[in-house]
Amino acid sequence: MPHSWNSLRRTLLRRVLAPVTVLGLVSVTVQGPASACPLALIIAMDGSSSVDAREHALQLQGLAHALQDPEVVDAISSVGGIWFSSFEWSGRYQQVMQVDWSFLDGEESAKAAAAKLARSGRSFNEFPTALGYALGYAAIHLNKVPEKCARRVIDVAGDGVNNEGFGPASAYHAFPFEGIVVNGLAIKGAKPDPVAYYRHSVIRGPGSFVEVANNFDDYASAMKRKLLREVGTSYYTELQPRKGVQDLR
- Answer whether 26's CB lies under 8 Å from 13's CB: yes
pLDDT surpasses 90 at 86 = yes
Average pLDDT over residues 48-66: 95
pLDDT for 124 = 83
The residue ranking higher by pLDDT, 15 or 212, is 212
Q: How many residues does the chain have?
A: 249
Average pLDDT over residues 119-142: 92
- Cα dihedral sign, 228-234-239-243: positive
Average pLDDT over residues 127-132: 94
At 53, which amino acid appears? A
Where do the domains of the chain lie?
45-247
> In which band, very low, low, confident or very high, does the pLDDT at 126 lie, cut at 50, 70 and 90?
confident
Highest mean pLDDT among 19-23, 225-229, 243-247: 225-229
pLDDT in tens, 110-121: 999 999 998 888
pLDDT surpasses 90 at 247 = no
Highest mean pLDDT among 124-128, 225-229, 233-237: 225-229
The whole-angstrom distance between residue 51's C-alpha and the CA centroid of its chain comes to 17
pLDDT for 131 = 97
Residue 152 dihedral angles phi and psi, to the nearest 5°: -125, 120
pLDDT surpasses 70 at 180 = yes
Angstrom distance (rounded) from CA 149 to CA 3: 33
**pTM of the full structure:** 0.81
pLDDT for 34 = 46
pLDDT for 240 = 44
When the pLDDT of each residue in the chain is averaged and rounded to a whole number, the result is 85
Strand duo 180-187 + 149-158: pairing: parallel
CATH superfamily placement of domain 45-247: von Willebrand factor, type A domain (3.40.50.410)
Highest mean pLDDT among 9-18, 28-37, 214-223: 214-223
Average pLDDT over residues 218-237: 84
